[in-house]
Amino acid sequence: MSSLLTIDDLKVHFPVRGGILMRQTAAVRAVDGVSLHINPGETLGLVGESGCGKSTLGKAVVRLIRPTDGRIRFENREITHLNQRQLRPLRRDFQMIFQDPAESLDPRMSVRAILEEPYVIHGIGSRDERRKWVDELLDRVGLQTSAADRYSFEFSGGQRQRIGIARALALRPKLIICDEPVSALDVSVQSQILNLLVELQRDFNLSYLFIAHDLSVVKHISDRVAVMYLGKIVELATAETIYRDPRHAYTKALLSAIPTPDPAAGREKILLEGDVPSPIDPPAGSAFGHRVGHPLYEQSIGLDLSLREIAPNHFVAADPCCLTPQDYEKISTVTPAA
């Protein structure tokens, strides 16, 4: 199957400057060698703690941040090094939905102006056509057409997110990067927005990169899930597999930390000590092994900790600190995934 988006060993490093000459003293390795692909009509979930680099990855994929290294291909076209002008026609195909619709919608523009803008920028349609399309968009995301003449601040959080979704849909994109699109919303509104995203995906064969920290939400909407830790993907599998059969210790800890809305479910929690370590000067070996003070940490320095296929379509980092001895033994014979 030819994938819609392929990223290959992508790195995004930010310089840290200091001293009187503001020389670069270190680098924040926000994204540090990530390879992923997204198929047409598929949702790839991306989860991890704050500061793990998931939002940076999402922005780099659509070239809102310049990658330091690696390759991004969109429909078999290399877009890693395109300049902004070359990117513009391609921007129709990938759009973004942000966490806080209040901040991503211009308060001085009417909803109609916000939704018309993509057409204007790309020079599509006559005035009347655009008017008709905006009405259709509003209808499609469950808003009344009368909303067009109002301003975004007149709407509730859920309605504003619908406007954000309508804007993302305007140019009929193939891929939408959803960066925490429901985390600012109340639960009853959150479910409305999730339902809308699922329906739109079916209707338009959209692909989503769905970034969130709420694992139940990610599980619900994703076909495959990638777990990110300190700039790297540590486990990647179908949503079902990630939740039924997690292999990486970090995935297990993340899953066990989700509070279950069932008071009768007594579960053992894996309590992680400490916080996400800093992506400035990350540990040389297993980053997670370092956090939990794993006895095998010293051994992991210098090892190739890249993803390997442990079961069909189930990839996990070959990390002696984070796998059971059986899993590690099994996986160390597998060649690294392409």
Partner 1 sequence: MSATPSPETILEVDKLITSFETDGGLLRAVDQVSFTVPARRTVGIVGESGCGKSVTAMSIVRLLPQPAGKILGGRIMFKGRDLTTATENEMHAIRGGDIGVIFQEPMAALNPVHRIGRQVAEVFSLHKDMSKKDAWDAAIEMLAHVRIPAPEKRMMDYPHHLSGGMRQRVVIAIALACKPSLVIADEPTTALDVTVQAQILDLMERLQQETGMSTILITHDLGVIAESCDEVVVMYAGRVVERAPVRELFSNPLHAYTRGLLDSIPTLETPSKSLLRTIPGMVASLGQHVHGCRFCQRMGRRTTVTRERPKFIEAAPGHWVEACPECTSVAR
The candidate with the shortest Cα–Cα distance to 226, out of 254, 201, 203, 205, is 254
Non-local (6+) Cβ contacts of 146 within 8 A are: none
Q: Which stretch binds partner 1 (CB under 8 A): 42-50, 60-68, 93-101, 105-113?
A: 42-50
Question: Binding to partner 1 (CB under 8 A): which residues in 45-84?
Answer: 49-50
Q: Minimum Å distance from CB 201 to partner 1? A: 8
Q: What's the rounded Cα separation, in Å, for the pair 98 and 178?
A: 6
- Nearest distance from C-beta of residue 276 to partner 1, angstroms: 7
Pure H helices in the chain: 54-61, 84-91, 101-104, 111-121, 127-140, 157-169, 187-204, 215-221, 239-244, 249-257, 287-291, 297-300, 325-331
- Contact residue for partner 1 among 39, 80, 145, 191 (CB under 8 A): 191
Contact call for residues 53 and 12 (beta carbons, < 8 A): yes
Report the nearest approach of partner 1 to the CB of residue 94 (Å). 21
Residue tagged 């540990």 (tokens): 283
CA-based end-to-end distance of the chain: 15
- Among candidate residues 78, 70, 102, 34, the one with its CA nearest the CA of residue 279: 34
Kindly identify the residues of this chain, within the stretch 272-311, that bind partner 1 according to CB under 8 A. 272-273, 275-276
Stretch that binds partner 1, among 173-181, 184-192, 294-302, 327-335 (CB under 8 A): 184-192
Rounded (5°) CA angle 162-163-169: 90
Q: Least distance from C-beta 54 to partner 1, angstroms? A: 12
Residue 212 near residue 180 (C-beta atoms within 8 A): yes
Pairing mode of beta strands 207-211, 23-38 = unpaired
What single-letter amino acid sits at 45? G
Q: Decide whether 43 or 207 has the Cβ nearer to partner 1.
A: 43
CB of 93 to partner 1, least distance (A): 23
Q: How far is the CB of 296 from partner 1 (least distance, A)?
A: 21
Residues 122-181 that bind partner 1 (CB under 8 A): 156, 158
Q: Which is nearer to partner 1, 10 or 287 (CB)?
A: 287
Closest separation between CB of residue 275 and partner 1, Å?
4
The size of the interface with partner 1 (CB under 8 A), counted in residues, is 48
Among 172, 140, 143, 181, CA closest to 159:
143
Q: How far is the CB of 98 from partner 1 (least distance, A)?
A: 18
Q: Which of 152, 222, 241, 251 binds partner 1 (CB under 8 A)?
A: 222
For partner 1, which residue of 216, 313, 324, 332 counts as binding (CB under 8 A)? 216
d(CA 334, CA 307): 10
Residue 111 or residue 254: which is nearer to partner 1 going by CB? 254
| Of 187, 302, 325, 326, the one binding partner 1 by CB under 8 A | 187
* Alpha-carbon dihedral sign for residues 185, 190, 196, 197: positive
Could you tell me the sign of the dihedral formed by the alpha carbons of 108, 114, 120, 125, in that order?
negative
Query: Minimum distance from CB of 85 to partner 1 (Å)?
Result: 38
Interface residue with partner 1, options 59, 63, 219, 314 (CB under 8 A)? 219
Site string for partner 1, 242-271 (x = CB under 8 A): -x---------xxxxxxxxxxxxx---x-x
Which parts of this chain interact with partner 1 (CB under 8 A)?
Answer: 43, 49-50, 156, 158, 186-192, 194-195, 198-199, 213-217, 219-223, 239-240, 243, 253-265, 269, 271-273, 275-276
